[in-house]
Amino acid sequence: MQKYDWLRFIVSFFACFSITSITIPAHAAENAPPELYLGSVAMDVPAEMVRRMTPLAKYLSMQTGYNILFRASPNLASAVEDIGMGHTQMAYLTPVAYIEAHDKYGAVPLVSPLTRGKSTFNLVIAVRKNSPIKSMSDLRGKKFAFGDKNALLQPAVVVRTGIKLEDFASYDYLKHYDNIAKAVLNGDFDAGILKDTVAEKFEPLGLRIIHISPPLASYLFAVSNKISPDAITKIKSAMLALNTDTPDNKAVLRALDQGYDGFTLVEDQDYNVIRKLIAPFKDKK
């Protein structure tokens, strides 16, 4: 019986401990800052996106008083659905992802990053440095790499050069820009499309750019139309204040993208040119 009583004491002790441990956080939660989730299109594998986005989430938490947490999405469509269904309240989106989130769910544009002071970016076509390919016309009959299937701006930029998708011997979707760059370097594809800052990262490793798109309205941060005005104001102010004036702030921006040096206000109409570019491809989805 003594053994039984001793075991019963241990069970009772841990049961009380568990109840106490549950009660304290529940009480503390009443005073905890409200949570907001920051999402993103999948520009890289989830672990890398966590590395890139977490410094910004921490910065925004300190500046706004909200507890901002990063939630990774596996692809473009998922990032759009997350903000539309309330799984995230703000998101880092490509222009195409933003347009879909705005048109489908009423997402509101907030700020876009400045790349060396510019609020635009370029998509580029890259080949291996030692490739005989010199121009876009040389890509006929070659293997080409795209990113996400829903990233309609990528084929729109290619077709704008006069190359039709059926002109390629084959093409495939590799999800992330880093995957595209590595596949071209490895010789799995003759060429691929990249964001300008990604191409810059891989140029020293053996890539060569053969085409640069006209300036395009940048990636951006958008918020749900259900988020509170207080949260919008605080997040917007914090992001506009973020620049490279201190090592800590610079590290937040460089983690997100090596070319970013700040943010600027953005409006829906800034993406009308991209809407026209992708319109023929939306009809084919």
Which pLDDT band holds residue 67 (cuts at 50, 70, 90)? very high
Ramachandran sector of residue 256 (left: φ over 0; alpha: ψ -120 to 50; beta: rest): alpha
Question: Do 35-119+217-275 and 123-213 show the same overall fold?
Answer: yes
Question: What's the DSSP call for residue 153?
Answer: H
For residue 178, give the 3-state DSSP assignment. helix
Assess whether pLDDT exceeds 60 at residue 112.
yes
Look at residues 69, 93, 70 and name the one whose alpha carbon lies nearest to residue 81: 93
Q: Burial-class residue 181 by CB neighbours within 10 Å (0-12, 13-18, 19+).
A: buried
For residue 268, give the 3-state DSSP assignment. helix
Predicted pLDDT at 32 = 79
For residue 242, give the 3-state DSSP assignment. coil
CA 221 from centre of chain: 9
Phi, psi of 222 (to 5 degrees): -120, 160
Predicted pLDDT at 21 = 39
Assess whether pLDDT exceeds 60 at residue 172.
yes
Assess whether pLDDT exceeds 50 at residue 119.
yes
* C-alpha to C-alpha distances, 133 to 79, 126, 160, 182, nearest whole angstrom: 35, 10, 19, 18
Predicted pLDDT at 8 = 41
Average pLDDT over residues 117-138: 97
Predicted pLDDT at 178 = 94
pLDDT, tens digit, for every residue of 18-62? Answer: 333 334 455 545 677 899 999 999 888 889 999 999 999 999 999
Domain ranges of the chain: 35-119+217-275, 123-213
Query: Which residues, 6+ apart, have CB-to-CB distance to 112 below 8 Å?
Result: 119, 217, 218, 219, 220, 221, 263, 264, 266, 270
Class of domain 35-119+217-275 (CATH, top level): alpha beta
Q: How many CB atoms lie within 10 A of CB 238?
A: 21
Average pLDDT of the residues of the chain: 90
pLDDT, tens digit, for every residue of 192-247? Answer: 999 999 999 999 999 999 999 999 999 999 999 999 999 999 999 999 999 999 99
Predicted pLDDT at 19 = 33
Predicted pLDDT at 29 = 54
Total-model pTM: 0.84
For domain 123-213, the CATH architecture is 3-Layer(aba) Sandwich (3.40)
Assess whether pLDDT exceeds 50 at residue 11.
no
